[in-house]
Amino acid sequence: MARDKAKDDKLFSCSQSSEQDYVAGLYDITQRPNVRTLLNTGCANNTIFHSTHMQIYNLIKTKLGYAIPI
């Protein structure tokens, strides 16, 4: 699934599970559990509060080493 580049500057919403599903779904099926764990942890401790989608992709790249989805 290709990312919706129009969302890159929009804020990621921790309160909507569809947001987490969308971001995790952009990654390989073997990477999704790790992405979902990172998102859940970031939402729980507010480290990704007020982050844009692009900031989330960069965080995933930094923390997990996964390429930013195209």
With bands split at pLDDT 50, 70 and 90, how would you rate the model's confidence at 70? confident
pLDDT at 60: 98
Half-sphere exposure of 25 (CA within 13 A, CB side): 10
**Which residue carries 């790790």 as its tokens?**
34
pLDDT at 4: 82
Distance CA 29, CA 51 (A): 24
